[in-house]
Chains A and B, each alone.
Chain A
Amino acid sequence: MAAVSNEAKASGKKGGKNGASKLLKAVNEHKVLYLLMVPGLLYFVLFRYLPMFGLVIAFKDYNIFKGIWVSDWVGLANFEALVHSTDFWNVMKNTLVISLSKILIGFPIPILLAILLNDIKSMKFKRVTQTFLYLPHFLSWVVIGGIMLNLFSPVFGLAGEMFRALGAEPVNIMAKKGSIFWVVIFSDVWKEAGWSTIVFMAALTQVDESLYEAAKMDGANKLKQMLHITLPCISSIVIVMLILRIGKVMSAGFEQILVLQNSITMESIDIFDTYVYREGLGRGSYSFAAAVDTFKSVIALILVTSANKISKMFGEEGIV
């Protein structure tokens, strides 16, 4: 027993010395790769990490005339103000519910569309359809909001006329607390679904066609093919997209919510970004805005690392 452990200890010690030189050797072997990364990393240091000194604004009472350094430290006061504000829990709830609903409904759809679209054999039809699919992505929410308003208005809109044609009282779905939630979710899905298919289409091109042939000969139908060939092949991309999407949970769609909010629906769809836009930046209070941003970032960090770990537990690779 002792002999084995001594041997182990000896090799362990050797391993220690070997470890350092192994490391150097490995680095040397890959030095070209490291060199390739230098310009990109330089960008990150200069333009992403350098400005991070601004994170202190969240802990100060920032006055733009005094400057970042001279402004007073207030520690966690801004964060306390945030958490204790009357609207905090409402905004938190809205942000999470809206974001998660958008993911739940809006994440699988582009994958499905990409797979179905891939099946279309006519190149012309495919191209035209793809172009149509991502058109909504290019229209800003201001424009789409305006169009939705025109369509759904109870008096002058198409929806109003349809209601009356059916003999019912027109309802302004954009002015009711309940329906506005679904308007938000579905309009977002509609707007981004097409654009999101692009990445999945690219992923599908990497699937080996011969696998399908083999499966067909084994008698697998379309559904089986999809489940056992397509999905597993693109799973690594899907996981990456999902984790990245989860990282954005705290930003539930600023421009969209801003456009769709009105006096009645304001509270029911208020999210962090719109809240901060009004209460923080709208009051010239950068400190408060910075505190909310930091708060969001911390939560996003926790979510991303958790999602990353979970995906690894399932045998997939995460993003780190």
Chain B
Amino acid sequence: MKKQRLLEAAAGVMSVCLLAGSLAGCSVKKAEGTASSAVADTAQTEAKAPDEKEAPAKLKLFLTNKNIIDDSYAKKMIEEATNTELEIIQVPTKDLDNKLNILLASGERPDIIQCETETMESQLLSSGILLPLNEYWDNYPNLKNARDEATWDVMRYSDGNIYSIGIKNPNPLSIIAYRMDWLDKFGLEVPTTLDEYYEFASAVAKQDPDGNGVADTFAFGGYQNVDTSWFDHIFGAYGALPNYWMEKDGHIVNGSIQPGMKDALIYLNRMYKDGLIDPEFVTDDPKRWQQKVKSGIYGAGVTKIHIFDQNNWSNYYEPFIQANPEGEHVYGSVLTGGSENPAGIRMASERGWLRTFVSKDSKNIDACLRLLDYLTSEEGNRFAQYGAEGEHYKWEGDKLIRLIDDKETNDLDLNKFFIGNTVLFDHSSPELFDAFEFSHTICTPHSVDGIFIDELNDIYPKLKEITNTRYIEMIVGETEIEGEFEKFVEEWNSRGGDKLTKALDEAYQVKNKKK
């Protein structure tokens, strides 16, 4: 009797599963099949002539979240200018990749897609669902001319095509800066050597420059990783930058395992033990670090260039001045005394932190390109960021004066369309431009920008993690640098580092030969 019941139950469960499985199979095939039928459709629509004045083309955009409201002023104006109707799916940055993966897996193909991570970009590029922009942009001059040849080169995929356009931001966004008022207070000059730097850093940490009786000032702080450039002025002084691919004697090497780094770590460890570095850098996050910078407790290190814009770009300068009315920054050059070829500040990718792609299967390829063309044109670019001339801003000579405040800018949805645009600084103060210019003299080029190889995605994230952990352990003194550094280099190589370096170097040689 028991056996019978068992069999019956088993049969029941199995049939449910079979039923489920077959239903699933049908539905999955159907769901995933919508992609292939879409391809068949576009073949027909492409045959139509693109320049008839038709009803607005409906486009589906998958963008990183900027809180664009459906019937906002900016959105309406952009739709009008490009004869489109935009359906925008916005996702908070952290969940972007996940949601995009799910949408794509279910067969959906938004007309315009954005992503920030290289993993996602890599996946999209190798998938074959993207539109090669270069094949179409002869009809769209603004898009074509939006970037110079060198930048397009970096955006070129291995098959020679260009599939994306990224945000154009100043690069680098960091700079070596010192508190001018504190230098004056201690009677010191802007440091140019590692020794001079140590002298000033000690004074900052130990002689209470802000005079509040508390030991709360430091040379610099940071957040969690060594490759967010906060230590670059020291690492660079010794010839390399960790977690950064650099060119050395015509070959690609990674800064993490260069011998000079060991001396840099010893120097940093000394600074840490002496209390010159903010010990909270291990646990701080970007927000907390920003707060500290604005409250003016750091005096000698790498910082964001925003601090030089007295027109308060990203709300850096004003809070700083409010908290430190006498505060003043001055930028400094690369420090000597550690290496014969010191490196400067690392650079971000010229591809832009946010890349926009067009789906090959889009039913409205021309509308998509129209939109991109408009937003990359000088007129569209300026409109999307500042609004309409006369209404929202006016010109005074060659300086742009905004007529509306931040709140209204936000309500109108201005400065929210980040689709391949160039960030303008027409309204910024001249100090910022000086800083930009200077920062270009102290940076180290991003040698492998634009080179995509699979091993990068598989191995490199882990290597970066290991570098961060081991380096920070050595800096704070959890491990002894002598011996540990050599062990780290071995670990780095054995985890695929040397394989990766070779592969990158080969790709680099190939790319350079092409030039």
Query: Which residues of chain A have a CB within 8 Å of any CB of chain B?
Result: 15-16, 19-20, 22-23, 45, 49-53, 64-65, 67-69, 86, 146, 149, 153-156, 172, 174-177, 262-264, 266-267, 278-279, 281-284, 286
Chain B, 6-29, CB within 8 A of any chain A CB = 16-17, 19-21, 23-25, 28-29
Q: Across the interface, do A149 and B283 meet the contact criterion of CB distance under 8 Å?
A: yes
Check A65 against B129 for contact (C-beta < 8 Å).
Answer: yes
CB atoms of A50 and B24 under 8 A apart = yes
* Chain A residues positioned under 8 Å from B389 (CB to CB): none
CB pair B225 A263 closer than 8 Å: yes
Please tell me if the beta carbons of A67 and B98 are within 8 angstroms of each other in the complex.
no
Say yes or no: is B498 at the interface (Cβ < 8 Å to chain A).
no
Would you call A65 and B127 a contact (CB within 8 A)? yes
Structural contact, B282 and A262, CB atoms closer than 8 A? yes
Q: How far is the CA of A249 from the CA of B318 in the complex (A)?
A: 50
Q: Is B280 an interface residue (CB 8 A)?
A: yes
Contact residues in B for A68 (Cβ distance below 8 Å): 28, 32
| A184→B461 CA distance, assembly (Å) | 25
A65 to B122, CA, bound (A): 13
Q: Verify if B476 is at the interface (C-beta below 8 Å from A).
A: yes
Nearest CB in chain A: distance from B228 CB, A: 11
Contact B282 A172 (CB under 8 A): yes
- For residue B29, which residue of chain A has the nearest CB? A69
How far is the CB of A273 from the nearest CB of chain B, in Å? 14
* 30 contacts across the A-B interface (CB closer than 8 A): A19-B1, A19-B4, A20-B4, A45-B19, A45-B20, A49-B16, A49-B17, A49-B20, A50-B20, A50-B23, A50-B24, A53-B24, A64-B101, A65-B128, A68-B32, A69-B25, A69-B28, A146-B285, A149-B283, A149-B284, A149-B285, A153-B283, A155-B279, A155-B280, A175-B282, A263-B225, A266-B465, A279-B461, A282-B461, A284-B97
Contact assessment for A65 and B476 in the assembled complex, using a CB-CB cutoff below 8 Å: no
Chain B residues with Cβ below 8 Å from A19 are 1, 4
- Stretch among B154-162, B324-332, B466-474 lining the A interface: B466-474
Q: In terms of DSSP, what is the predominant structure of the interface of chain A? A: helix
Q: Is the CB of B28 within 8 A of A53?
A: yes
7 additional A-B residue pairs with CB within 8 Å, beyond A67-B28, A172-B279, A264-B476: A19-B1, A45-B19, A49-B16, A50-B20, A155-B216, A172-B280, A263-B472
Interface residues on B, range: 35 or more
Return chain A residues, CB-CB under 8 Å to B285. Answer: 146, 149
- In the complex, the answer to whether B461 meets A278 with C-beta atoms within 8 Å is yes
Decide yes or no whether B104 CB sits under 8 A from chain A.
yes
Interchain CA distance A226-B241 in the complex, whole Å: 64
Query: Does B119 interact with chain A (Cβ within 8 Å)?
Result: yes
Complex contact B476–A283 (CB within 8 A): no
CB atoms of B32 and A67 under 8 A apart: yes
Asked whether A65 lies within 8 Å of B1 as measured between CB atoms, the reply is: no
User: Contact: B105 with A64, CB < 8 Å?
Assistant: yes
Q: For residue B272, give the distance in angstroms from its CB to the closest CB of chain A.
A: 12
Distance A186 CA – B1 CA, assembled complex (angstroms): 52
When distances are taken between beta carbons in the complex, the residues of chain B under 8 Å from A279 are 461-462
Q: Is the CB of A65 within 8 A of B104?
A: yes
> Is residue B478 contacting chain A, with contact meaning CB distance below 8 A?
yes
Interface flag for B458 (CB, 8 Å): yes
CA A140 to CA B4, docked complex, whole Å? 50
Contact among A53, A86, A264, A283 for B495, CB-based, below 8 A: A86
A36 to B: closest C-beta gap in Å: 18
Find chain B residues with CB under 8 A from A155 CB.
216, 278-280
Decide if B120 is an interface residue (CB 8 Å cutoff): yes
**Most B Cβ at <10 Å: residue of A49, A64, A281:** A64
Q: Which residues of A contact B461 (CB under 8 A)?
A: 278-279, 282-283
Report B114 CB to chain A, min CB distance, Å. 16
Distance between A29 CB and nearest chain B CB, rounded to angstroms? 16
9 smallest CB-CB distances across A and B, nearest first, come from A19-B1, A53-B24, A64-B105, A67-B32, A175-B282, A263-B472, A263-B468, A65-B127, A50-B20
Q: Are A284 and B280 in contact (CB under 8 A)?
A: no
Please encode chain B, from 478 to 514, with 1 for each CB lying within 8 Å of some chain A CB and 0 for all others. 1000000000000000010000000000000000000
**A contact residues around B119 at 8 Å (CB):** 282-284
